[in-house]
Amino acid sequence: MSVDRLLPTEEATELVALVREIAQAELTTRAAADEAAGRFPRDALALLGEAGLLGLPYPEEYGGAGQPYEVYLQALEEVAAAWMAVGVGVSVHVMASYAMAAFGTPEQRARYLPEMIGGRMLGAYALSEAQAGSDISAMTTRAKRADHGYELNGAKAWTTHGSYADFYTTFARTGDDPRGGVSCFHVPGHAPGLTFGSPEHKMGLNASPTTALYFDAVSIADRQRIGDEGQGARIALSSLDSGRLGIAACATGLAQAALDLAADYAKEREQFGRPIAEFQGLRFLLADMAAAVDSARATYLMAARKRDAGRPFSRDAAVAKLIASDVAMKVTTDAVQVLGGYGYTKDFPAERYMREAKVTQIFEGTNQIQRLVIGRQLLK
């Protein structure tokens, strides 16, 4: 079912329609097989890069498309509806590029951004550690001063695109202050001393590799530090605000796919001599699912429009991520129920949607963290 979208320009309408066409033609047909095999679809991400999606919200002067965030997120939603792992991959890459785009010097942006956002490279975001997830102050990975710039030692956990990325936006401790002692670095994927753990065995998103990173005396030049020393926590939190909107859009796309599957099945499945869609109880369930998806979309669009207007949006991003991920979990669970026994089998994608939805309540800050952010903003 095509979503009735309200986009700011005719160009944006055509762009989102093109992304939908590519996603439906190139992603939906292979998602189930690649997920079952745990194959990373680097070629699919490269295809989207060629179409301009990896740089959609970034300036044209550096190879981006210069589109508002509300347009980028609606295009991202279409990708996630076709294949969640690819949608998450795009979201992670765009978030990994944010630090350079927003905090890099003009020289750094000219040097690095064209390849980062032009579709030829794939990025990863290395913030979390085994004992330091949402608690940045607990970070132990350290970048100490050396003759050439910095020497990076430590480990990162839960890194999407680990071992596949061309660059890692990495946060490391350069001082002892819990928050003010963290800095941000652009680390090439081929850097000597950078190694990777085995891929995590996950409930879902099996085509999206998640690994640990290990830094053993990795040399980092001064020009690869993004922002000032000690500015890393600010960069990380700012990146996460935008990244949470990406996850909200992905979660909404996943929920939309589950709703479409359930509605189509209900029109075809017959019981007691008529389609089950004619039973009022099921119609009410589908109506609640549709209302929830529409609500999730509205929350991320509100946050995106504030971001595009240059207004504070941290609280709105937390609300969007919280609402959209909870909706994804609820709607995918309901879709399994609508399909009944078939929903519990791998003959239909409903069970995969349900498994994929769960992680949206966890990454880019758990939903408990989102509630802390919202509560803190309310009580300022």
Beta bridge partners of 155: 214
Residue 135's pLDDT band (cuts 50, 70, 90): confident
Rounded Cα distance, 369 and 379, in Å: 15
- The pTM of this model reads 0.96
Nearest residue to 353 via CA among 35, 16, 50: 35
Nearest residue to 254 via CA among 361, 123, 117: 361
Rounded Cα distance, 287 and 105, in Å: 50
Domains 10-117 and 234-378 share a fold: no
Per-residue confidence (pLDDT) for residue 6, from 0 to 100: 93
Q: How far is CA 82 from the centre of its chain?
A: 14
Q: Is the pLDDT of residue 310 over 80?
A: yes
Domain 234-378 has CATH 1.20.140.10: yes
Domain ranges of the chain: 10-117, 123-231, 234-378
Residue 219: φ, ψ to 5°: -80, 130
Rounded Cα distance, 345 and 337, in Å: 12
Average pLDDT, integer, range 335-354: 97
Q: Is the pLDDT of residue 120 over 90?
A: no
Strand ranges inside the chain, DSSP E: 123-126, 142-146, 149-160, 167-173, 182-188, 194-196, 210-221, 225-226, 270-271, 274-275
Domain 10-117 has CATH 3.40.718.10: no
Write the class of the CATH domain 123-231: mainly beta
Residue 68's pLDDT band (cuts 50, 70, 90): very high
* 43-63 pLDDT per residue, tens: 999 999 999 999 999 999 999
Q: Which of 70, 78, 151, 364 is catalytic?
A: 364
* 245-271 pLDDT per residue, tens: 999 999 999 999 999 999 999 999 878
* 363-377 pLDDT per residue, tens: 999 999 999 999 999
Q: Is the pLDDT of residue 323 over 80?
A: yes
Name the token pair of 253. Answer: 């796309």
Establish whether 364 is a catalytic residue: yes
Per-residue confidence (pLDDT) for residue 133, from 0 to 100: 78
Q: Is the pLDDT of residue 232 over 80?
A: yes
Q: Where are the alpha helices (DSSP H) in 83-143?
A: 84-103, 106-117
